[in-house]
Amino acid sequence: VQLQASGGGLVQAGDSLRLSCAASGRTKNGYRMGWFRQAPGKEREFVAYISRSGGTIYDVDSVKGRFTVSRDNAKNTVYLQMNSLNPEDTAVYYCATKLNSGSIDYRDPHDYDYWGQGTQVTVSS
């Protein structure tokens, strides 16, 4: 399984970005996908999760209704739409998946098997 994250960049506060995570490999049953981010000097933190059926979960405190996760199964791609960005959103953003169909602690990065390479998001004030 390979995950390719893209879409990051340098934006100003208040701007929007859409991150993509394209999956390839064992795609028969689709992917459940988590989005995490890691700022310099901080631990990797959970941002959002989308199940194979499209159910979504967000870290309410950090995204507060600004982020939306979605998927296009035909393209094996998961998206993270980020609106009203602020400097505190600056981080490397990662997508990750867990292949087997067992339970998942979606907030725990250690529970994921495969990770994308990360895409840098920088928000200037």
pLDDT at 28 over 70: no
The pLDDT value recorded for residue 99 is 84
Q: Can you give the pLDDT at residue 68?
A: 97
Which pLDDT tens digit goes with each residue over 64-100? Answer: 799 999 999 889 999 999 999 999 999 999 999 998 7
In angstroms, what CA-CA distances link 89 with 56, 92, 100, 102, 103?
20, 9, 31, 31, 29
Answer yes or no: is pLDDT of 108 > 70: yes
pLDDT of residue 30: 75
Angle at 10 between CA 4 and CA 12, to 5 degrees: 135
| 30 backbone φψ class: left, alpha, beta (φ>0; ψ -120 to 50) | left
Average pLDDT, the chain: 93
Residue 57 has pLDDT above 70, yes or no: yes
According to the model, what pLDDT value does residue 114 have? Answer: 94
